[in-house]
Structure 1
Amino acid sequence: MHGPDPLTDDTTALPRGPLLGFAAGSVGMGVWVTVPGLLLLYFLTDVLAVTPWLAGLALLLPKVADVLLHPWVGHRCDVAQTRRGDRRRLLLLGCALPAGFAALFAVPAGWTGGPAAAWVAVVFVAANLLFATYQVPYLATPADLRIGYHERTRLMAFRMVALTVGILASGLLAPLLTGGDDATRGGYRRMGLLLAVGMFAALLIGVTGITRLRRVAAAPPVAPGGGRRALVATLRDPQFRRLVTAYLAMSTSTHLVLAAAPYYAEYELGRPQLTTVLVAAFVAPALLVTPGWSAVARRIGKQRALLAAQAAFAVGSLVLAVGAAAGLPVLVTAVVVLGVAFAGMQLLPFAMLPDVIRAGAGAAGTYTGVWTATEALGGALGPWAYSLCLAGGGFVASTAGQTVLQSDSALAAVRYGFGLLPAVLMLGALLRQRRYTLDRVARVGGPPAHPGSL
C-alpha cells in the first residue's frame, strides 16, 4: 500500500445530486445489458430466418472479442487520465452506444439468413466496444474520487438501484414495443430507436454526474499511465486475482440462471408464461434490498456480507434442484432468495473493486478493463455451460410450434442445470472469496493478513 492510507482516511460525503446523476448512467447501461440478451437470439432465428447454430455463433464471437477489447480500453482510459486528468472523452465516445443499439435491430431490408447474421455480429462487436468506452471509465470513477471505504459502497448502491431500474424497465418495454406476439421486423426497428433515445439521455446525465463528483472529490491517480506494465501489475495483485476470479464464478452463475429460466418454466413447471415471474423474482428484489446490503456491509464489512450473499445463492439454488415436487410457492421463494443474493453480489464486488485499486500498484482503468472483460466472459460462459448441460442430458431442439417429448435425462438436465450447477459454481466463488483479505485493512487500516499468492 502506498500513501498515508488511501482506503480509510478520507471521510468526504458525496452530495445526493451528483450521486443521482452518476447513477443515471447505469439506467442506460441496464438497457444494453438486458435487451440484446433477451431478444436478439429470437430476433435472429424467428424474424430473420437465421439457423440457430449460426445465430448462436453471431452472438458468441462478440463476447469473445470483449475479453480482448476491454483491457485495451482500460489502457486508453489510463492514458487519458494521465494526460488530461479525467476520462471524459472516452465517456462521451461511449455515449454513441445508442446508435449501435438501434443499428442492431435495423438490419437492411431483405437481408435474412447468413447476411443478417453477419450484420448483427459486426454491429454487436462495434457496439460492445462503444459500451466498453463508457463502462470502463464509469466504473473507474469510485477509485478516482477522494472518498473512503463506506462512501464507495454508498456510491455503488445508488448505481445498483439505477441499474435495476434500467433492467426492469427495458425488459418490460422492449417486447411490447416490438409488437408482442405479433412482433415484426419494423417493430424491432421501432423498439431499437425508441429505447436508444432514452439510453442516450441517461448516458449523458451520467457523464454530467461524474463531472460534478470530480469537482467535489477528485483524487490524484493511484498510478500513472497504463499499458503492459500496468496490466502486469494488475494481474500480479493477489487481492485483485481473488476478487476477480470469484466474480467470474458469480457472473457465470447468474447469467446461467437467466438463460435457464425459460427452460425451467416450460419443461419443469409446465408453464412457459412463468418465465416472466421467475425473471422478475430474480431481478426485482434489488430495488428493495440494495440499501439493506449497504447497511449490512457498513456493520460487518463488505467481505463478510458478500460471503453471506454467496452462501444464500447456493442454498436457494439447491432448493430449485428439487424441482416441481417442492411446489411453486417454494420455488418462487427460492428464486427471490437468489434475487436478494444477486443484489448483494452486484453491489459488494463493485464496491470492493475501488478498494483494491486504491491499495494496489496498477492503474484504475487497467483494473476496470480486466474486471469488465471478466464480466463479459461470465456472460458468455453461463449460457454456454447450461447448453452443455442440456446436450449432456440429450435435450432435443425444436422449431416454433413443434412439440418434442423430452427424455427423462433431458428433463433432469433442465432441472439440475438450473439448480445444482449454479450451486456448485457459487460454492467455488465462496471458497475463492474467503482468500480475499484486503477488507479488514480497508475497514480499520494496517497490513492485510497472510496476503499469500494465487
Structure 2
Amino acid sequence: MARNAKVDEDRVVGALPWNERLSYGASDFACSFTFSLIGTYLMYFYTDVFGITAGAVGTLMLVARIIDAFDGPFWGVMIDHTHTKWGKSRPFLLWFNAPFAIFTVLCFTTPDLPMFWKIVWAYVTYIGIDVLYSAVNIPLTSILPSMTENSDERVLLSTIRSLFSNFGGTLISVIALPLVGLFGGGNNQRGFFLLAVMAAVVFFVIYLVVFANLREHVQTEQSQKPLPIKESLKALKSNWPWVIVIVLNFVYWLGMQTKGQVTIYFFKYNLGRPGLVSFALLFNAIGLVSVFLTPRVVIKFGKKKTLLGGLMISVIGQLLMGAGAAMLNIPIIIAGIVIGNFGNGFVGALIAVLLADAVDYGEWKNGVRAEGIVTSASSFTAKFGMGIGGAISGLLLAWGHYIPNKTQPASALFAIEANYIWVPMLALIISFILILFYKLTPDKEREMSAYLTKKHFREKNKEN
C-alpha cells in the first residue's frame, strides 16, 4: 500500500511515462494534420475548385463562428458533467473520433449541385467539422491539468504536443498540393477528396492509440463526480489569468488564420509563383526549433518573457515579409517567414500551459476545479478568432474584386497582401500588449502548486 501511495505521489509531482507523453503529442499531430488541411486549403478549395464566391465563403465562416460561440462552452460543460471509468476528458477522444474523420472527408466532397445547394452543403459540412473539432480537441487541453500538477512537466507535455502539432501541420501543408496532383491526375476535385480520405484515416488510427495510452492521474473530490454548471462557473470568478489567455487566443489565431489561408493566393497571384507554396509552407517547421527550446527558455526567463520574446520575433518576421512584398523579393519574404515561424513556436507551445495554470488558479482562488469550462474557452476563442479571420479574408477578397483563376486587379492584390502580412502583424502586436498585463509570477505559481499538491494528495489518501 505504501509503495502504491509513493507511486501516486510521484505522479502528482509529475513523473509521467514516455508512452503518455508521446501519445499526448501524437494527439495534436492528428488534429493539425487534418485541421491544417482545412485551415490552409479549404477557402481556396471553395473558391477555386468548388466554385463558391469569396464573399459567400467569408459570410459562411462568419456565420459558422456565431454558431460556434455555443459549442465550445457546451463541450466544456459536457466534460465537467462526465464521469466514467475512463475519466472526464479521455472518453471524448473515443466517442467523437469517427464522426470527425467522416466530416473531414465530407468537407472536401464536391457533389454536382446548383450554386445555392453547393453553399448549403458547405454550410452543413463546415459547421459540422467545426463543432466536431471542438469535441476532439477541447479534451486535449482539459486533460492536461488532470495528467500532472507539476508546472515543468506541463511545459514539457505542451512542448511535445506543440512539436507534434507543428510537424503535423507543416507536413500536410507541404504535401497537400503535390498529393492533390498525384491523386487527382489533373482533377482537383478528385485529388482533394482522396487527400481528405487519407487525412481522415491518419486521424482515426492515431486517436485510437491516444485514447488507449492517456490517463487522468490528478483525481480530486470534484473530479470524481459531475460538476453542476453553476458550480463550475465559480472557477472563472476573478480568474484574470484565464481572461488574458482567452483574449490572447482569439486575437492571435485570428491573425494566424488570415495569413495561413491566403498563403496560396499570395504566391499564386501577388508573386506569380504558385509552385513555391509548398516550399514556403515547409518553413513552418522552423517553429519546431523554438518549440524544442521552450522548456529551457522558460526555466531561464519564465513563461511571460518567453511569450513576449516569441511575439516580438514574429512581429519582426512580418515586417520583413512586408518589405519583401513591396520589393517583390522572394528571398526577403522567405527570411521573414523563417523568423516569424521561429517566434510563433514559443507562443504555440505556451498557450495550453497558461490555460492549465488558469485551471489551478481557479481552484486555488475559488475552490473549484473545472477543467472543462476553463479550457473549453480556449478552443472557442481560438476557433472564433480563426472564423473572424476567415471572414475578414473572404470579405477583403470580395472587396478587392477577386476573381478565381484570373489576373487580379490591384485592389485584389492589396487585399491578399493585407490578409497575409498586415492583419497578422496587427494581431501579434495586440497579443504582445495583452501579455504585458499577465502577472502570474513564478513565485505565485510555486505557492499555488504546493498548496494544490498537498490538497489533492490529502483527498486521494482520504478516499483510500
TM-score, normalised to structure 1's length? 0.85
Give the corresponding residue for 2:318.
317
Residues 44 and 261 in structure 2, CA contact (< 8 A), matched pair in contact too? no
Work out the CA distance in 2 between the residues paired with 1:190 and 1:414.
Answer: 28
Q: 1:102 aligns with which of 102, 105, 112?
A: 105
Contact 1:386 1:417 in 2 (8 A): yes
Equivalent position of 2:214 in the other structure: 210
Task: Give the match's secondary structure for 1:179.
Answer: helix
Say whether the 8 Å CA contact 1:62–1:124 is kept in structure 2.
Answer: yes
Deviates more, 1:88-97 or 1:363-372: 88-97
What residue in structure 2 maps to residue 3 of structure 1?
A: none
When normalised by structure 2's length, the TM-score is: 0.83
Q: Tell me, in whole angstroms, the C-alpha distance in 2 between the residues paired with 1:387 and 1:52.
A: 5
- Structure-2 residue corresponding to 1:190: 194
Quick check: 1:380 aligned with 2:387? Answer: yes
Q: Per-residue displacement from partner, 1:187-236 (whole Å, max 9, x unpaired)?
A: 3332222221111011111212323xx3xx33326676142452364264
CA–CA distance in structure 1, aligned partners of residues 202 and 107 of structure 2: 16
Letter in 2 for 1:380: G
- CA–CA distance in 2 between the matches of 1:105 and 1:415? 26
- Residue 54 of structure 1 deviates from its aligned partner by 3.0
What letter corresponds to residue 199 of structure 1 in structure 2?
F
- Work out which of the residue numbers 31, 53, 56 in structure 1 matches 2:55: 53
Query: Retained in 1: the 8 A contact 2:26–2:206?
Result: yes
Distance 1:178 1:317, change over 3 A: closer
Instruction: Give 1:424 deviation, angstroms.
Output: 2.5
Question: Does the aligned pair in 1 maintain the 2:269–2:407 contact within 8 Å?
Answer: no
Aligned partner of 2:332 in structure 1 is: 330
How far off its partner does 1:415 sit? Answer: 4.0
Residue 416 of structure 1: CA displacement?
4.9
Q: Report the AA paired with residue 219 of structure 2.
A: A
Alignment CA distance shift 1:222-1:375 (3 Å)? farther
Aligned CA distance change for structure 1 residues 375 and 446 (closer, same or farther; 3 Å) = closer
| Amino acid across the alignment from 2:207 | L
Cα pair 2:20 2:213 within 8 Å, conserved: yes
- How has the CA–CA distance of structure 1 residues 238 and 23 changed in structure 2, closer, same or farther, with 3 Å as cutoff? same
Identity %: 20
Which one of 399, 416, 441 corresponds to residue 404 of structure 2?
Answer: 399
- Higher mean C-alpha displacement, 66-75 vs 235-244: 235-244
Instruction: Determine which of 413, 426, 429 is the counterpart of 2:428.
Output: 426
Give the secondary structure class of the aligned counterpart of 2:220.
coil
Distance 1:326 1:193 in 2: 37
- CA distance in 2 between partners of 1:272 and 1:177 (Å): 15
242-251 vs 164-173, greater mean Cα deviation: 164-173
Which deviations, in whole Å up to 9, do the C-alpha atoms of 1:267-314 show, x marking residues without a partner? 543433333333222x21122321112210122111110011111112
Which amino acid in structure 2 is aligned with residue 178 of structure 1? V
Q: Structure 1's 119 and 325: CA in aligned 2 closer, same or farther, altered over 3 A?
A: closer
List alignment gaps of at least 5 residues for structure 1: 1-8, 448-454
* 8 Å Cα contact 1:250/1:345 also seen in 2: no
Pairwise CA distance, 1:379: 0.8
Q: 1:302-347 CA distances to partner (integer Å, 9 max, x unpaired)?
A: 1110011111112222222223438432321111111011111111
Q: Which runs of 5+ in 2 are unaligned?
A: 1-10, 450-464
CA displacement at 1:83 relative to structure 2: 9.3
Quote the Cα distance in structure 1 between the aligned partners of 2:291 and 2:103. Answer: 31
Q: Matches of 1:230 and 1:334 in 2, distance apart?
A: 43
Higher helix proportion (structure 1 or 2) = 2
Q: Which moved more, 1:20-29 or 1:220-229?
A: 220-229
Q: CA deviation at 1:125?
A: 2.2
Does the aligned pair in 2 maintain the 1:48–1:113 contact within 8 Å?
no
8 Å contact kept, 1:51–1:113: no
User: 2:291 corresponds to which letter in structure 1?
Assistant: T
Structure 1 Cα separation of the partners of residues 239 and 50 of structure 2:
46
Letter in 2 for 1:287: L
- The letter for the 1-side match of 2:71 is L
Range moving further from structure 2, 67-76 or 179-188: 179-188
Contact 2:175/2:278, CA 8 A, preserved across alignment: no
Structure 2 counterpart of 1:399, one-letter code? P
How far apart are the structure 1 equivalents of 2:47 and 2:332?
34
Match of 2:375 among 355, 363, 368: 368
* Distance of 1:376 and 1:126 partners within structure 2: 13
Cα distance change on mapping 1:298 and 1:208 into 2, 3 Å = farther
Are the equivalent residues in 2 in contact too, given 1:48–1:112 (CA < 8 A)? no
Q: Distance in 2 between matches of 1:411 and 1:85?
A: 51
After TM superposition, the structure 1 = structure 2 runs for residues 231-242 of structure 1, keeping only pairs within 5 Å, are 231=233, 233-234=235-236, 236-242=238-244
Distance in 2, matches of 1:202 and 1:285, equals 24
Q: What does residue 299 of structure 2 align with?
A: 298
Q: Which residue of 1 aligns with 2:6?
A: none
Q: Give the whole-Å Cα distance in 2 for the aligned partners of 1:123 and 1:131.
A: 12
Q: Give the C-alpha shift of residue 149 in structure 1.
A: 0.9
CA contact (8 A) 1:62 1:125 kept: yes
**What secondary structure, in the 3-state scheme, does the structure 2 residue paired with 1:86 have?**
coil
Name the CA distance, whole Å, in 2 between partners of 1:236 and 1:205.
38
Partner of 1:288: 289
Residues 82/226 of structure 1: CA separation in 2 closer, same or farther (3 Å cut): farther
CA drift of 1:263 comes to: 4.1
User: What amino acid does structure 1 have at the position aligned with 2:122?
Assistant: V
Cα RMSD of the aligned pairs, angstroms, is 2.8
- For 1:271, the equivalent position in structure 2 comes to 273
| CA-CA distance at 1:107 after TM superposition | 4.5
* Change beyond 3 A, Cα 1:82–1:239: farther
| Mapped partners of 2:86, 2:235: distance in 1 | 23
Instruction: Determine if contact 2:396/2:415 at 8 Å carries over to the other structure.
Output: yes
Using the alignment, how far apart are the partners of 2:58 and 2:416 within structure 1? Answer: 19
Alpha-carbon shift at residue 427 of structure 1 (Å): 1.7
